[in-house]
Structure 1
Amino acid sequence: MSFQIVDRRETLVAGIPVRSPRRALGQLRDPHLEEAWAALLNGETYGPFAATYTDHAEDIDSYYTQTVGFCCSSVDDVPEGYVVSRVPAGTYAKFSAVGSRFTDVFDDLWRQIWDAEAEGEITRAFTGDFETYPHAFGIELYVAIVDPRQEERR
């Protein structure tokens, strides 16, 4: 498993929010999320595609808010009809995956994340996560973590 520890500035994503149940892998279909992506893809966008995961709990069968949209640099950049999701500045584990099927890439990423958690390599902070799509076949997912460098100093 391969990931990088990175420090990120605050990230803003303008888009369409969807309150989704946190599901086990293999149960990825969410019609509300698919509708939000379809609306976004059929509309005008003003930056690179992105999504945020906020307001979530740790347990399977809990809920989180996923905002699908595009990166923006300020609330002034947000067109009418979109909301702004804010992911705070902090320490993140950056996971990347590439493949020909989006669902396979997505499954691979979350397996890497959950394996890193299970092996004690990361401790999630649950302050907000962020994903971006550098090209049609790839995802970069930034998971907020407790900064291991801070833990070492204690």
Structure 2
Amino acid sequence: MSFEIVKRESADFGGLVLPRTELSSSAHSTDLMKFTRERIQQRGTAELITVYVAVPDLGWTAVIGYRCTDLGQLEVGDVLVRVPAGYFAKFTPDGRSSDPIEDVWIQAELAEKEGRIERAYAEEIEVFRAPSNVELFISLA
């Protein structure tokens, strides 16, 4: 497992909402998640981004979409979520799994379990560039 600590500037993301999303290495493989990702990819989005937002008393909400540099890019009916600046552990696939998204989540779960990172359980960002380039940014406390 290898990861690096990075500082990210605040960023805005637009997309479709999936409430009460399970935050785990298999979350991306649910039928609803796959369906929603396909809808965003059909728009011609080259970089598919999923932002996981902690919602008190509800768990996690996923916003599946794209980076917005200005409000003019926000599609009608999509929501906008801002991820504040902060420090994140950045994970990339290392071959633990044949599925690159599952791979980075397994690494993050293991890093937390081993005490190598202290998660803030705030906004977390998964960036997918086809066919298998994935980056996972886990918010740090």
Could you list the runs of 5+ residues in structure 1 that have no partner in the other structure? 147-154
Three-state SS of the structure 2 residue aligned to 1:55 is strand
Q: Which residue is equivalent to 2:32?
A: 32
Segments of structure 2 that go 5 or more residues without pairing to the other structure are none
TM-score normalised by length of structure 2: 0.84
Aligned-residue sequence identity (percent) comes to 27
Task: Tell me, yes or no, if structure 1 residue 122 matches structure 2 residue 121.
Answer: no
Q: Please, which moves more after superposition, 71-80 or 137-146?
A: 71-80
Structure 1's 23 and 78: CA in aligned 2 closer, same or farther, altered over 3 A? closer
What SS class does the counterpart of residue 97 from structure 1 fall into? coil
Aligned to 1:41: 41
Quote the residue 2:84 is aligned against. Answer: 88
C-alpha distance 54-69 of structure 1, shift in aligned 2 (>3 A): same
- Structure 1, residues 27-86: CA drift from partner, whole Å, max 9, x if none? 7532222221121122254x73211010257xxxx7311111111113332121211122
1:22 to 1:96, Cα distance in 2 relative to 1, 3 A = same
Aligned pair count?
A: 139
Please give the TM-score of this superposition, normalised by the length of structure 1. Answer: 0.77
SS in 1 for 2:105: helix
Q: 1:88-108, CA deviations, whole angstroms, 9 ceiling, x for partnerless residues? A: 110000001167x8x721221
Query: Of residues 116, 124, 131 in structure 2, which corresponds to 1:136?
Result: 131
Find the partner of 2:65 among 57, 62, 69.
69
Corresponding residue SS for 2:93: strand
Give the AA of the match of 2:60.
Y
* Higher CA-based Rg: 1
Q: Secondary structure at the match of 2:29?
A: coil
Match of residue 78 from structure 1: 74
Shift of 1:142: 0.4
Q: Which residue of 1 aligns with 2:7?
A: 7
Q: Does the aligned pair in 2 maintain the 1:116–1:122 contact within 8 Å?
A: yes
Contact residue 3 and residue 92 of structure 2 kept, 8 A: yes
